[in-house]
Structure formats: structure tokens, C-alpha cells
Amino acid sequence: MDGAALFVSLKLALLTSAMLLPLGIVLGRSLAQARARWKVLPEAMVALPLVMPPTVLGFYLMQAFSQDAPLGAFWQWLFGGSLNFSFSGILLASLVVNLPFAVQPVQRAFEAVPAHLREAAWCSGLSAWQTLWRIELPLVLPGIISSLALTFAHTLGEFGVILMVGGSIDGETRTLAISIYDRMQAFDESGAGIMSAMLLLVSFLTIGVVYGLAARQRWKRHV
């Protein structure tokens, strides 16, 4: 059992989920309310990480993170460290990879809220913020929880991109998924087995939470 890898994985998954939450809400809501002709490109951009091979995505991220590229150079200037082979680097990569998981469930949930409800809230005297807070967010809560759970679980399991960008530095970039791979390379089947079982359990719990909440919320979703 690789305790350091478990810690890196959990830290990465929690930070990714937390940082993508506001972004997912803002992007999901804008895309849900945007006119069809304006949202084709942004929607495609958000969905791109879903269809791109992880190694390809990892390759481009590595290129962008390098100190010769504007992003990498900027990071270097800002924090004095490299993005490649660092925890910051895999966190940034993880944010990109998980964008569709964070945005899409929230977008679908916002799309399901009838426009009339917002108008009714305005006519009832609620400001735009009050409408978001008291009417829209409670109604899209199942979507937000789905997005959190999917992002969390997917980050725990992400392999290709993390390996490309972060390598396998103990306590810094070696996540549970990479550790399993390393153990298999070292013929340590029992170690890989324990960690695999753990990831399986986490995945199962995540899906349970998503479906459980969806079922619990469904009774409220009649409009």
C-alpha cells in the first residue's frame, strides 16, 4: 500500500473538484442559456478532453507547460518553479481533463430549469442573484453533485495525462493509479491488488452517491 500515492491522489481529486465547482457552475449556466449558434464552439472545446487520447492531451499539455512556451514561462516567472513534473502541473492538467465532467452535468441541469421559473422569480421580486441562489441552484443541485462526484472519481483514476505531465515522483506526482502501474511493473501483484480494490470501492461509492441523489431529488423535479 502506497500511502504517499493515496495522499497525492486524494489531494489532487479534492482540489480539482473544488476548483472546478465554481467554473462548472458559471460555464454550465452560460452554455445552458446561450443561443444555439453561439455555443457550438465553446461546447466543443469543453467536450474535447473526452474524445482526445490521454497521451495526446498529455503531450500538448507538456508542450504548453515547458519553459519555452508562454504558459510555462509565465508560471516560472510567477512562482519560480516548473509546471512539468510538479504537483501544480498535474493539478492544472487535471483541471483541463476534467472540464467536461464538471461542466456537462451542470449544463444539463440548468437546461432542464424552465425559463418561466426564472421569470416568475423576477416577477416575485427576487433579484438576479436571489433567483440564482434560491431558485436555480436548488433545482440544479443534483447536477452539481453529479459533477463533483464524477470529477472526483475521474481524477482518482486518471492515468495517461498525469503520467505524461507529472511522471512518477514519489509524494509529488505519483498518484494511486500510477502507483498501481508501477507495482505491476515490479511484479508486486498483491500491492497493486489492494490499491485497485480501493479505487474500485471509491468508484462504486461515487456512482452510488450520484444515482442515489438523483433518485432522491427526482420527486422534486416535477414542474
Partner 1 sequence: MTQPETARSEAVGPGTLLVNLTQPSPIPLAAEFRCGPGELLALVGPSGSGKTTLLRSIAGLYRPSGGSIRCGDELWYEAGGQCWSPQRRRVGMVFQDYALFPHLDARANIATALGHLPRDQRHQRAMSWLEMVHLEDFAHRYPHQLSGGQRQRVALARALAREPRVLLLDEPFSAVDQVTRRRLQRELALLRERLNIPIVMVTHDLNEASALADRICVLHGGRSLQQGAPSEIFRRPVSAEVARLIDRPNVFTATLVHGADGPRLAWGDWQLEVTEGLEGYAEGSRLAWYVPESDIILQRADRSSQHQDENQHEDENQHQDENRVRARIEQLVVLGGVSTITLALDHEHQTMRFDMATHTVRRSQLLRGQVVEVSLLATGIHIMGEASQDAIPPEEI
Please report, as ranges, the residues that interact with partner 1 according to CB under 8 A: 114, 116-117, 119-127, 130, 134-135, 138-139, 219-223
Q: Are 118 and 136 in contact (CB under 8 A)?
A: yes
Comparison of 55 and 130: residue with beta carbon closer to partner 1: 130
To partner 1, the closest distance from the beta carbon of 131 in angstroms equals: 10
Closer to partner 1 at the Cβ: 52 or 117?
117
Is 97 within 8 Å of 157 (Cβ atoms)?
A: no
- Could you give the CA distance from residue 217 to residue 223 in angstroms, rounded to a whole number? 13
CB atoms near residue 215 (< 10 Å): 10
Instruction: State which residue, 10 or 132, has the beta carbon closest to partner 1.
Output: 132
**Can you tell me the distance from the alpha carbon of 197 to that of 202, in angstroms, rounded to the nearest whole number?**
9
The least CB distance from residue 125 to partner 1, in Å, is 5
Of the candidates 100, 108, 206, which has an alpha carbon nearest to the alpha carbon of residue 152?
A: 206
Shortest approach of partner 1 to residue 33 CB, angstroms?
15
- DSSP code string of 152-169: HHHHHH--HHHHHHH---
Nearer to partner 1, 140 or 148 (CB): 140
Minimum CB separation of residue 223 from partner 1 in Å reads 5
Please state the closest distance from residue 119 (CB atom) to partner 1, in A.
5
Nearer to partner 1, 142 or 157 (CB): 142
